[in-house]
Structure 1
Amino acid sequence: MSRNESPGRSVTSKVLAVLGAFDPGARELTLSRLAERAGLPVSTTHRLVAELAEWGALDRTTDGTYTVGRRLWTLGLLAPVHSDLRSVAAPFLQDFHAATRATVQLAVRDGDQVLYVDRLSGNVSVPVVSQIGYRLPMHATAVGKVLLAHAPDDVVTRVMGRLTRHTPWTITSPAILDGQLRRARSEGFATTGEEMSRGASSVAVPVVRGDEVIAALGVVVLDLRRGRGELIAGLRVAAQGIGRRLSSLDRD
């Protein structure tokens, strides 16, 4: 038994550990690296990976590494957060993207992180870390700050307890972040300035269904010093449209 492997682990927990070994920083993994990250013996990992690859949950590349398979992505699209929110939001994202030609993002809170459920890339070359399906820290992204501002107290407490630095401008002071969250609630938007990646700033607003903030809509640009007001106004129009459409679906 691996030193990292707990006795009595179920097959399901082992399969989930293998799938959970992948993240935005580890999109391709060798068998040995998969075993290490999953806390499983290589022999056990080899058997599980073979079954997962046969089913389509994992793909084996030409150089022998493994990636998340297309079948998992297809299943993920069936989740309500994807099928309902993405389909309703799509025309609003497309309109805003056409008007600004900037990178537009739609995100939801997933535990203590922000999960990106849709994104349209901008024409201007801006370093954007997020991709559809990526999870990123809430404190370093505008969409994340919006969602954190409306998150339960226990989530805020946990996030405040581990404010990791991603660039020299990442906010790692709980007091400063708390002030930003207060402003996000009162002003209805949040911003970042090169806090997740150098050369990229962002602004985001909440998407509200009924009385609940269910998502955040944001845009990533090179600089917010010019045109910030217009971007916020456009985001608010789009977010309100998404919220109204979702609310109408609830009543149907």
Structure 2
Amino acid sequence: MSVEKDKAAEELRSGGIQVIARASAIMRALGAQPQGLSLAAIAQAVGLPRSTVQRIIAALEVEKLVEALPGSGYRLGPALGELIHQAHGDIISIARQSLEDLGETLGETVVLSCIRGQQTHAIFRVIGENELRVVIPLGRSMPMHATADGKVLLSTLTDDSIVQWLTPAPQKLTANTLALPALLEQITQIRGTGIALDNEEHTPGVSAISVLLPTLMGPHAVSVVAPTARFVTRKDEFRQALEAVRDAIGQSRA
């Protein structure tokens, strides 16, 4: 097995664009199924012979980009998580000052998030200074269909991908949670504006507004989260502030 892995690793390093494209397709297939996939399922998902998939998987295992599951099957490996963490660290270092200034100016909670495991995942936050404030736990993953950052991140996907991720009946968390047809209609609008709202769709009494922040490591979202009583009177102010922060962070990355 060690010889096979070494052979596959060499093929992945020297085989050129085709092997890289195939390895990328395999990793994307695994990324879409966090619970893992069998070799047969991976081969079906990427349209390659099982023997080809097995050789590439073996090479990815060597680099810890893929790991075997107990029994059978594979999932993305720890090395990929380390790379993502490093990339997020770069994004946070670029955005930190702008986000801290935004939180201080508005007095509300500000969150930087990304997609992880088909949910929205908070990677940086600034807690608002108001006595009544919303605290988003750092590292918390939340459903994408019922949050402002989740919706703005979903807008980067096709409608078919969104339906596949959410299923035809996403969980209704509050009376305001949108059903899938209404969500898809709203996401069409979000694609044009880069702005999404959460009108107590995840938590009663809490609303949010998010702006899409494209980065080299994929889409991110910056959100302002506040009690609805304050949010409704300051929504336009929050939107203008988020658009300014998006532009400022974009310029600092240029």
Give the TM-score normalised by the residue count of structure 1: 0.63
2:246 pairs with 1:236: no
Q: Distance in 2 between matches of 1:156 and 1:170?
A: 16
Q: Secondary structure at the match of 1:166?
A: coil
- Aligned with residue 13 of structure 1, among 69, 80, 103: 69
CA distance in 1, matches of 2:126, 2:174: 24
1:218 paired residue among 217, 223, 230: 223
How far apart, CA to CA, are the structure 1 residues paired with 2:153 and 2:140? 16
Which ranges in structure 1 are unaligned for 5 or more consecutive residues? 1-10, 15-71
Could you list the per-position Cα deviations for residues 50-106 of structure 1 after superposition, in whole angstroms to 9, with x for gaps in the alignment? xxxxxxxxxxxxxxxxxxxxxx9xx86972342111111100100101100100010
C-alpha distance in 2 between matches for 1:99 and 1:138: 27
Is 2:173 aligned against 1:166? yes
- Counting matched residue pairs gives 184
Q: State the one-letter code of the partner of 2:224.
A: V
Q: What secondary structure is seen at the aligned counterpart in 2 of 1:132?
A: coil
1:189–1:203 contact (8 Å) kept in structure 2: yes
Deviates more, 1:75-84 or 1:155-164: 75-84
Q: 2:198 aligns with which of 158, 167, 192?
A: 192
The 1:238–1:208 alpha-carbon spacing in structure 2 relative to 1, beyond 3 Å, is same
Q: Quote how far apart the aligned CAs of 1:190 are.
A: 0.6
Contact 1:96–1:238 (Cα < 8 Å) also in 2: yes
Partner Cα separation in structure 1 for residue 234 and residue 201 of structure 2: 19
Displacement of 1:158 in angstroms is 1.9
Cα deviation, 1:174-201, whole Å, max 9, x if unaligned, reads: 1110111011112221101111111100
- Evaluate the alpha carbon distance shift between residue 111 and residue 78 of structure 1 in structure 2; reply closer, same or farther with a 3 A threshold: closer
CA offset digits 1:95-133 (Å, max 9, x no partner): 1011001000101112421111111111232444x3221
The answer (yes or no) to whether the contact 1:106–1:217 under 8 Å persists in 2 is yes
Contact 2:212–2:221 (8 Å) recurs in 1: yes
Equivalent AA in structure 1 for residue 69 of structure 2: S
Matches within 5 A, 1:1-252: 13-14=69-70, 79-124=85-130, 125-128=132-135, 130-161=136-167, 162-171=169-178, 173-209=179-215, 214-223=219-228, 224-246=231-253, 248=254
Distance in 2 (alpha carbons) for counterparts of 1:244 and 1:111 = 29
**Which whole-Å CA distance do the structure 1 matches of 2:83 and 2:122 have between them?**
13
TM-score by length of 2: 0.63
Question: Relative to structure 1, is the Cα distance of residues 94 and 179 closer, same or farther in structure 2, using a 3 angstrom cutoff?
Answer: same
Letter of the structure 2 residue corresponding to residue 232 of structure 1: R
Which portions of structure 1, spanning 4 or more consecutive aligned residues, are displaced by more than 6 angstroms? none
Q: Considering fraction of residues, name the structure with more helix.
A: 2
